[in-house]
Amino acid sequence: AGGSAQNGTVEFPRQLSLFYAGRIAPHLGIFSQLTYDGKADHLSIDNTDVRFAKLIVLPGKNTLTYGLSLNNNPTVQDLWNSTPAWGYPFSHSNVAVAGTPLGPADVQIDEQFAQQVAGLTGYVFYDESLYVEFGGYRSFQPGAVAPLNSSDHSVLAGFSPYWRVAYEYDWDANALEVGTYGEDFKVYPGGGVPLAGPQSTYLDVAGDFQYQYLGEDNILTVAGTYIHENLHAMPAGATNPSDTLAVGKLWASYYYRRRYGGTIGWFGTTGSRDSGLYGFGCSSPHTLAYCSANALTSSATGSPDSNGFMMEADYLPWYNVKLSAQYVLFNKFMGTTNNYDGYGRSAADNDVLQLMLWYAF
């Protein structure tokens, strides 16, 4: 197969994070994560949610929780694990060819603006059943005092509306949630293009569910999400005036006595063929070796379609230590199973085996 694979890569530490979650003042709290990335050798503020919340008891003893959330990643404030920020996979390889667990093509709401935006949303949670949230996000420049400029990529044009509606039903040791969420993105192309004029527009609309059983010895979680994206006013280089992209994820986790467990998940991406977005044109004076090495995440057919499975086995010898083995298997990658890049590389060449040690203190 063309290209090169990164085999036997060891990242220690892959990531170090410090978490703080607690009260700041009456009705005001924060969850914040400070993360060191071992591969990038970079320390930064990771997922953060500053939240105002107040509980009132209504006539009939029903409850209503309402408040505001100031955060830096769409869905990081969510109450369930079925949305992108806290959904499966909870960890994945930094050196995988795909770059993301799903493949190179992904929708905007799935972590594409994580830690690059500031969002303010308001929410109500009625009787711990019906959850409704609305708000929006704006771009900011992390770690800098200079304003956003044309060298920045994927800058939001103004205010990007976000919504979330969900309903949860609890009985005995069971809980079932179904819901919808989404965001309307207007994005300047950046990369030297002035932050003015036409923008690319992405409308992401999603549905999700989560079922959980919490027993004394057995814990079972089944969750999934489907995200559909419409893209218009395309970025430079795109072939089509508009495209669609859809991402689906489904997974089930089981743990016995909170010590032995594992997860199996399916993922799939489908979308419009667009050689400008997903292809890689390469010709003279570049060599065949150069073209092959730089087409690893490109599609010879212009298709973003990818799918596969993720499997993980976990062992927790103590409550704060987890040993994991994770395998990502691609059935299809960027449009096909074999020779997806036009240089002989197959989807299976992007499979990843990862061994992980998780320690909390």
- For residues 152 and 190, the answer to whether their CB atoms sit within 8 Å is yes
**With bands split at pLDDT 50, 70 and 90, how would you rate the model's confidence at 280?**
confident
Is the Cβ–Cβ distance between 298 and 273 less than 8 Å? no
pLDDT of 322 strictly over 60: yes
Q: Is the pLDDT higher at 194 or at 345?
A: 345
| Structure tokens, 352 | 């990843």
- 3-state class (DSSP) for residue 347: helix
CB 353 within 8 A of CB 326: yes
Contact (Cβ atoms closer than 8 angstroms) between residue 299 and residue 335: yes
Locate 342 and state its tokens.
């036009």
Mean pLDDT of 272-299: 74
Q: What's residue 281's pLDDT?
A: 64
Output the six-digit token pair for 135: 């708000």
Q: Report residue 282's pLDDT band, with 50, 70 and 90 as the boundaries.
A: low
Among the ranges given (106-115, 160-169, 185-194, 331-340), the one the predictor scored with the smallest mean pLDDT: 185-194
Which range scores top for mean pLDDT: 91-105, 190-204, 302-316?
302-316
State mean pLDDT over 314-330: 95
15-145+162-359: CATH topology is: Porin (2.40.160)
List b or e across 121-156, with b for residues whose CB sees 16 or more CB atoms inside 10 angstroms: bebebeeeeebbbebbbebeeeeeeeebeeebebbb
Q: Which of the two residues, 275 and 294, has the higher pLDDT score?
A: 275
Which residues, in sequence order, are bridge partners of residue 322?
358
Q: What span, in angstroms and rounded, lies between the C-alpha atoms of 71 and 50? A: 6
Tokens of 142: 């992390």
| DSSP sequence for 268-324 | EEEE---HHHH-----TTS-HHHHHHHTTT--TTS---EEEEEEEEEEEEETTEEEE
Confidence at residue 103, expressed as pLDDT on a 0 to 100 scale: 75
- For residues 350 and 331, the answer to whether their CB atoms sit within 8 Å is no
Q: Are 223 and 208 in contact (CB under 8 A)?
A: yes
Q: Residues 132, 162: contact at Cβ < 8 Å? A: no
Mean per-residue pLDDT of the chain: 86
Residue 341 DSSP class:
T
CA distance 354 to 216: 30
Q: Which range has the top average pLDDT, 2-16, 219-233, 237-251, 344-358?
A: 219-233
- At residue 277, the pLDDT reads 86
pTM of the predicted structure, to 2 decimals: 0.89
Q: Which of 81-85, 226-230, 289-293, 335-339 shows the lowest per-residue confidence on average (mean pLDDT)?
A: 289-293
pLDDT category at 278 given cuts 50, 70, 90 is confident
State the DSSP H helix or E strand holding residue 252, giving kind and residue range, or none if neither: strand 242-256
What's the pLDDT at 289? 67
Structure token digits, residue 310: 């993720």
Provide the residue type at 153 as one letter: H
pLDDT category, 22, cuts 50, 70, 90? very high
Tokens of 274: 């667009």
pLDDT value of position 284: 54
pLDDT of residue 344: 87
CA distance 279 to 300: 6
